[in-house]
Amino acid sequence: MIKIPKHIVDQVIKGNDIVQVINEFVMLEKKGRNYFGLCPFHSENTPSFSVSPEKQIFHCFSCGEGGNVIQFIAKIDNLSTTESIKKLASRINLHIDGIIDDNKSVEESRYLEINKFVSEYYQFTLHNTIEGKKALEYLHSRNLDDDMIKRFQIGLAPNSTNSLYLALKSKNYSELTMLDLGHVTKYNNKYYDKFKNRIMFPISDEYGNKIGFSGRIFLDEYKNEPKYINTQETPIFKKGNVIYHLNESKIKIKQNNRVFLFEGFLDVIASVRCGLEESVATMGTALTENHVVTLKKYTKNVVISYDGDSAGIEATKKAIEILIKHKLNVFIINLPDGLDPDDYVNKYGEKQYLEYIINNQKSYKEYMYELYFSSVNFNNIASLDEFKKKIFQLIATSTPTERELYLSKLSNDIHVSVSTLQFDYKQYTQYVHRSLLPSNHDVEIHNRIIKSIEKNRPSKKKLLETQKIMLFFCLYNRRFVNIINKDTRISFYDQNYRRLYLELSLYYSTYDNFQIDNFLEKYVKEDKSHIKFVKDIYSQYKKYTGSYEDFHLEQCFAVIINELIANIVVNLKEQLKLSNSDDEKMEISQKIVDQYKIIKVKK
């Protein structure tokens, strides 16, 4: 655990007035010496959440949550104490990256600063230019009023070749950083704005940091271009991790214990207009494991409302699969006539949309039953039997009552008696259970897999040598710092190596090329033992004759990942010993196999 000096903690608490911070999340009203509001950590109608400006603490008299401003941000944003302190420190311009010794690139704060500026630039262009008037007219025609436009910080990329580039250059941001973040492109040694003639939607992470943008066409003369263009993958923007509007909706998601999952930005905005604050969307990608892990921190209830076309149905099926794998409760909404939420609201109005969304939710089993039923050929016995088996599989995890209701419905739909279906279902479950029991051969393979993982575990010497080579890559070219930072699995286990990596990250946020004298003077200074360590590493780097090809760095990653996997498997083996459930043992065994597959790929 990272040790943070007490004077830093005290500065952070003193510099962040708890009333001001909490008021950004909860509407507070002063009553006597304290402030009161609805608790953001549980659902309630009568305010029981108290904030004391005198003591700089909060307390809920209903659920018992309480603490100081650091604990509030940690709780509301699902952050560690260290991350909460860093976030609050940034609010008061207290720079503590060099004090808190973690493995996160200092360069990230620079990226976020640039993206914040770009977002403000796009908003200014929308509201203060002639081009912006046309874009505002388009947004108003889509029933987005000025309040919603400002709330979602929508902007405009103007019809200019390099106006954003010049604005960034005037702030002394480097071209390399602009390219890294996808704001400009380079051609014939000249720099051009990537986004032109597009309405811009800023994309934030779950903590409110601007990490990317999505631009939408709005002029008819550009209708042959892609409707949306997103920021490329960058060190801080990973489409498979991003959930649009999560930061703004997470309190409501917690309070209402549900989240509405849509396909696009305008669907989210339309739903928020109607009062569904707990609405989010993925970035035009299928739902991923990372998305689900993030959502699971806030609720176990997910309501999916994707388009009703074939692509939307396939996306819904895949989303259901991954959500139930994570043991979440899944519900589906199908809007009539193939309309998406934005179209439905514009056609029928906000009140009718809200009523439909609330009153027409189906469980994922109901949805899948109807989907399977729609494709049955009633003149074909094989088709009917296949339908029956799909329903048996669907209700395998149901309660006895739910199972009986589905068998009764199935009986009516395919005209087979309930008693016959109950007999068939019993036969089916017995067969499935027998097929899942591990054989002696399975156990032997499982033990062999564990031994293989342990064999692939790097020695301590190998681990240190690998970390050293990774530092050589960083010294050789700044881009390797970004590559290492992109992969969240990669860590520097040795404290000295980790410190040097962080210092290099900080150095490259200002300089493009490494120079040892400049580095020592500006970033190491008077720490004699560390100066000696850095000089020794640099001396070894100068003598190193290995390759600096990307695939060589990937081999280094493989060593680090194998160590990570070995640690995971050690924990899984302990869980396996303690487990008394066959189902749980199978699940843990599958996790071990999954880790083995990663090693096989990386070997």
Residue whose pair of structure tokens reads 């986004």 in the numeric block: 195
CA dist 471 and 492 (Å) reads 10
User: Which one has a higher pLDDT value, 598 or 88?
Assistant: 88
On the question of pLDDT at 80 being above 80, the answer is no
On the question of pLDDT at 286 being above 90, the answer is no
CA dist 69 and 118 (Å) reads 30
On the question of pLDDT at 398 being above 80, the answer is yes
Task: Tell me the pLDDT band of 445, cut-offs 50, 70 and 90.
Answer: low
On the question of pLDDT at 433 being above 70, the answer is no
Residue-level pLDDT at 540: 95
Average pLDDT value for the chain:
87
Residue-level pLDDT at 52: 93
On the question of pLDDT at 105 being above 60, the answer is no
Among 127-141, 336-350, 361-375, the least confident range: 336-350
Residue-level pLDDT at 603: 45
Number of C-alpha atoms within 13 angstroms, CB side, residue 397?
8
CA dist 87 and 21 (Å) reads 12
Token couple for 62: 């209903």
CA dist 512 and 177 (Å) reads 10
CA dist 355 and 219 (Å) reads 34
User: Which one has a higher pLDDT value, 446 or 454?
Assistant: 454
CA dist 54 and 18 (Å) reads 10
Mean pLDDT of 105-122: 87
Whether the CB-CB separation of 342 and 266 falls below 8 Å is answered with yes
Q: Which residues contact 240 (CB under 8 A, 6 or more apart)?
A: 285, 288, 290, 291
Q: What is the pLDDT of residues 33-67, one digit of tens each?
A: 999 999 988 878 888 999 999 999 999 988 888 89
Residue-level pLDDT at 1: 43
Whether the CB-CB separation of 18 and 69 falls below 8 Å is answered with yes
Among 416-430, 440-454, 565-579, the least confident range: 440-454
Token couple for 23: 């008021």
Nearest CA to 195 among 186, 180, 184, 179? 184
Share of the chain above pLDDT 70, in %: 92
Share of the chain above pLDDT 90, in %: 47
Q: Which residues contact 166 (CB under 8 A, 6 or more apart)?
A: none
Residue-level pLDDT at 538: 94
Q: What is the pLDDT of residues 242-257, one digit of tens each?
A: 999 999 998 899 889 9
On the question of pLDDT at 436 being above 60, the answer is no
Nearest CA to 304 among 233, 230, 355, 357? 357
Per-range mean pLDDT, top range of 80-84, 375-379, 559-563: 375-379
On the question of pLDDT at 437 being above 80, the answer is no
CA dist 57 and 80 (Å) reads 18
Among 220-224, 295-299, 329-333, the least confident range: 220-224
pTM: 0.66
On the question of pLDDT at 2 being above 60, the answer is no
Residue-level pLDDT at 365: 95
Q: What is the pLDDT of residues 493-528, one digit of tens each?
A: 888 888 888 888 878 877 888 999 888 887 776 778
On the question of pLDDT at 460 being above 60, the answer is yes
Task: Tell me the pLDDT band of 210, cut-offs 50, 70 and 90.
Answer: very high
Residue-level pLDDT at 466: 93
DSSP H stretches of helix in 257-380: 265-273, 289-296, 310-325, 341-348, 350-359, 364-374
Q: What is the pLDDT of residues 401-417, one digit of tens each?
A: 999 999 999 999 999 99
On the question of pLDDT at 443 being above 60, the answer is no
Mean pLDDT of 411-439: 79
On the question of pLDDT at 170 being above 80, the answer is yes
- Using the 8-state DSSP alphabet, how is residue 521 labeled? I
Residue whose pair of structure tokens reads 């939420």 in the numeric block: 341
Residue-level pLDDT at 417: 94
Q: What is the pLDDT of residues 12-23, one digit of tens each?
A: 998 999 999 999
On the question of pLDDT at 591 being above 80, the answer is no
Which amino acid type is present at position 86?
Answer: K
